[in-house]
Amino acid sequence: MKVALLTDGIYPFVLGGMQKHSYYLVKYLGLNSVHADVYHSHKWGEGKQKKLEEEFYKEIDYNYIHLHFIEYPKRYNYPGHYLVERYQYSKRIFKELTKITNYDFIYIQGFSGWYTLKNKSFFKVPLSLNFHGYEMFQKAPDTLTWLKMQMFKLPVKVNLDRADIVYSFGGVISSILKNSLKIPPAKIEELPNGIERSWINNEIKADESVLKIVFIGRYERRKGIEELTSVLKALDVSDRIEYHLIGPIPDQKKIHRPDVIYYGLISKQENIKNILKSCDVLVCPSYAEGMPTVILEAMASGLAIIATDVGAVNQLVSSSNGWLIKGDVKNGLLKTINKVANINNYTLNEMKHQSIKMVENGFLWDQIIDQLVAIINTKSKNEERFVSNN
């Protein structure tokens, strides 16, 4: 079996949720003896980049995984430049992709397959597409963000209509695909996001007098950090609760109080694991998400979860392991944090154990890759090979 994976970058060379998802797809396809050609936008180099390459191949089986560098177009700063660049980049991927004629299946991340889907008549194998969170079809935190989202809607719809298979994380994502985008249910394959088994924490944090709530995320409007900051300012300082925030939050946006601790950006996974294991509850107040890896990591670490009911979050969070916020984010956060502050240790510990069980029962990469391989085997069965235009 041979698969082409089209990406706009892959972790650790490019940081981001989709890039990390691509990394785990590659790693576990290789572990399952699936040959995969990965088209990506990182160029091997010297120094730091060379070290990243060495780190990459410590985990990736190069007997099965082959990387194809595609130069990313020059970046500009005019309205809509992102879409123009993505389209140009997808053309470059298509040019390289057509040089190889023995793929059984093509997996596309985001806009990286835009030109390939436009010219799908060149191929006689299934073309599958994953747009992850579909944030442009979810709630916007303000008018400016809403306006920015609008330009993405038509290109996303066009690409989805051309794909043979469309992936969904489930939950609100599936509703968007079926109801808003009118994608036929027969084209949709629900496949969750995941994490590695090494994240599973077999011993939850011991009961302490201080309850620790943690936030992890970029300083991005849709992540709800402004609402969280506003709520923390409204809450009284207490010696019974602490708030730990990981991410590049600007100094001028920080709260200067002893119960609010800022770590800045942390890139080392082990450091994040250690902080999570020392906390009790993750808060994820986003306006739009797919299936956030940070929630899965927190659950596997033995945390209860406070999160907004967006994307596929309701596939991870329920009353058994946390609190789902519906409606107004700020008011929901304030009410929920006050509720969590008064929870008893027994109930909280039950939630923590339930988080771990949920991850173990369906959100580990060695389980998810089995589902993907089954989809590939089913959908590519009896399909003809690539047909060249030469």
Residues 157 and 294 grouped into a single domain: no
Q: How far is the CA of 314 from the CAs of 183, 249, 294, 311, 334, in angstroms?
A: 21, 27, 14, 8, 20
Cα separation of 136 and 148, whole Å? 8
What DSSP state is assigned to residue 195?
B
CB atoms near residue 271 (< 10 Å): 12
Q: 36 with 6: CB under 8 angstroms?
A: no
Q: Report whether pLDDT(382) > 60.
A: no
Residue 120 within a domain: yes
Nearest to 90 by CA among 75, 73, 107: 73
Structure tokens at 58: 């410590």
Residue 385 within a domain: no
> 205-255 pLDDT, tens per residue?
888 889 999 999 988 999 999 999 999 999 999 889 999 999 999 999 999
Cα separation of 292 and 171, whole Å? 13
Residue 123 within a domain: yes
Residues 185 and 260 grouped into a single domain: no
Q: Report whether pLDDT(378) > 70.
A: yes
pLDDT at residue 368, rounded to an integer = 97
Q: 204 with 356: CB under 8 angstroms?
A: yes
> 262-277 pLDDT, tens per residue?
999 887 889 999 999 9
Nearest to 156 by CA among 140, 179, 132: 132
Sign of CA dihedral 87, 93, 97, 103: negative
> 255-310 pLDDT, tens per residue?
999 999 999 988 788 999 999 999 999 999 999 999 999 999 999 999 999 999 99
Residues 303 and 217 grouped into a single domain: yes
CB atoms near residue 4 (< 10 Å): 26
Residues 202 and 337 grouped into a single domain: yes
For residue 285, say if its preceding peptide bond is cis, omega within 30 degrees of 0. no
Residues 247 and 339 grouped into a single domain: yes
Per-residue exposure over 74-101, b if at least 16 CB sit within 10 Å of its own CB, e if not: eeeeeeeeeeebbeebbbbbbeebbeee
Residues 257 and 289 grouped into a single domain: yes
pLDDT at residue 381, rounded to an integer = 66
Residues 184 and 247 grouped into a single domain: no
pLDDT at residue 23, rounded to an integer = 92
Domain hosting 231: range is 197-360
Residue 386 within a domain: no
pLDDT at residue 262, rounded to an integer = 96
pLDDT at residue 69, rounded to an integer = 87
Residues 39 and 92 grouped into a single domain: yes
40 compared with 382, residue with greater pLDDT: 40
Residue 273 within a domain: yes
Residue 390 within a domain: no
Cα separation of 129 and 114, whole Å? 10
List, as one string, the DSSP characters of 60-112. S-TTTEEEEE-PPPPP--STTHHHHHHHHHHHHHHHHHTT----SEEEEEGGG
Q: Report whether pLDDT(385) > 50.
A: no
Residue 308 within a domain: yes
Please give the share of the chain, as a percent, with pLDDT higher than 70.
Answer: 95
Q: Report whether pLDDT(188) > 90.
A: yes
Residues 275 and 343 grouped into a single domain: yes
Across residues 334-353, what is the average pLDDT?
Answer: 95
What CATH number is given to the structural domain containing 55? 3.40.50.2000
* pTM attached to this predicted model: 0.90
pLDDT at residue 50, rounded to an integer = 66
Residues 267 and 309 grouped into a single domain: yes
pLDDT at residue 174, rounded to an integer = 96
Strand 2-6 vs strand 35-40: parallel, antiparallel, or unpaired? parallel
Q: 238 with 386: CB under 8 angstroms?
A: no
Q: Report whether pLDDT(36) > 60.
A: yes
Give the model's confidence band at 48: pLDDT under 50 very low, under 70 low, under 90 confident, else very high: low
Cα separation of 244 and 216, whole Å? 9
Residues 177 and 35 grouped into a single domain: yes
Cα separation of 281 and 249, whole Å? 20
Residue 389 within a domain: no
Q: Which of 75-89, 295-309, 336-350 has the lowest mean pLDDT?
A: 75-89
Residues 8 and 149 grouped into a single domain: yes
Across residues 38-50, what is the average pLDDT?
Answer: 68
Report the domain count for the chain: 2
